Amino acid sequence: MKAASSMSLLLFVSRETFFEYVNSSEKACNLWQEYGIMVDSIFDGEELTSMGKVIAIVNQKGGVGKTTTAVNLAAAIGSAGYRVLLADIDPQGNATTGLGVNKKQLTVSSYEVLIGGAKSSDAIIATQFQNLWLMPSSMNLAGAELELVELSQREAKMKSALALVRDDYDFVFMDCPPTLGLITINALVACDTLMVPIQCEYFALEGLSQLMGTVRQVKRLWNPLIDIEGVALTMYDGRLNLTQAVVDEVKRFFPRRVYSAVIPRNVRLSEAPSFGKPVMYYDSLSRGTMSYKDLANEFLAQNACGEQLSSPQ
């Protein structure tokens, strides 16, 4: 490894995404000057220090399995040996309770990080699940949209907060609210990629044009390297003709972006949150567990990760 150049700045994009666009210190400086992207330890285009990839799980349509995907995908990847942080920035806080955390007992949450200037490290707590940490949500986050309006650089609060901790993790997932307000904008500005869960039901693509329009605006104004990680199909029922019709429509809307692994309707997936557990810790042999393991393996393979999850014999 060559010695780092004298320029030492702060990276806000993943190594893989960065090298897709940059192969020299000169280009890095140009990106910094034009977009405010900060780069740490440039090794003449050869190698950067490893930093966690940030993925926003987004869909402004509610009830599509967004939180279910955030909790169970994060847990599955953690069980494969990767360090995972799940940031719950949805005021409903279902990802927080789904991991067995009592919101009423929290002293620091994602609200204080976004609004109060608290350090993200003070909000992050270890869960009882393997290699999985949580930045919990609280009921105070419900008023954050109005409070953010009054702040300077309001769209970049989460980006600044995660920049201080992302190198502690392999992957950082953000569970976003079902809106396209300032909290979701913060997630899109902070992330490297976004994952879109879509239910296999009528009106599945309703509002997605608006979501992609927002992503294009974020890309133009604040985060030029943002990209789509993938589209996860949820509530899949292969017995219904409607399901296949929706799958075909989603694949036309997102060509080559739809995961092969699909998430079925499953009773265990619905029951697990009431016990404060990801489904793989609630029923390790359920269809829900197997489907999220498949999705995790596809995600890890897509990100060129060697260690993957094995299925029971």
pLDDT 10s digits, 36-70: 444 443 333 333 345 799 999 999 999 999 999 99
63 and 45 fall within a common domain: no
132 and 158 fall within a common domain: yes
Q: How confident is the model at residue 238 (pLDDT cuts 50, 70, 90)?
A: confident
Q: Is the pLDDT of residue 89 over 60?
A: yes
Residue 219 corresponds to which tokens in the numbers above?
């890309």
Q: Answer yes or no: is 310 within a domain.
A: no
Q: Answer yes or no: is 230 within a domain.
A: yes
Q: How confident is the model at residue 21 (pLDDT cuts 50, 70, 90)?
A: low
272 and 129 fall within a common domain: yes
Beta bridge partners of 195: 57, 230
224 and 239 fall within a common domain: yes
Alpha carbon 28 to chain centroid distance? Answer: 25
Q: CB neighbours of 107 closer than 8 A, spacing ≥ 6?
A: none
Distance CA 169, CA 85 (A): 7
Q: Which of these, 241, 229, 235, 205, lies nearest to 66 by C-alpha position? A: 235
Domain that holds residue 106: 52-302
Q: How confident is the model at residue 17 (pLDDT cuts 50, 70, 90)?
A: low
Nearest 5°: phi and psi at 248?
Answer: -65, -40
The pLDDT mean for the chain works out to 85
199 and 249 fall within a common domain: yes
Q: Answer yes or no: is 311 within a domain.
A: no
Q: How many residues does the chain have?
A: 313
44 and 58 fall within a common domain: no
pLDDT of residue 3: 36
Q: Answer yes or no: is 217 within a domain.
A: yes
122 and 174 fall within a common domain: yes
Q: Answer yes or no: is 309 within a domain.
A: no
104 and 253 fall within a common domain: yes
171 and 291 fall within a common domain: yes
Q: Domain ends where: 12, 29, 51? A: 51
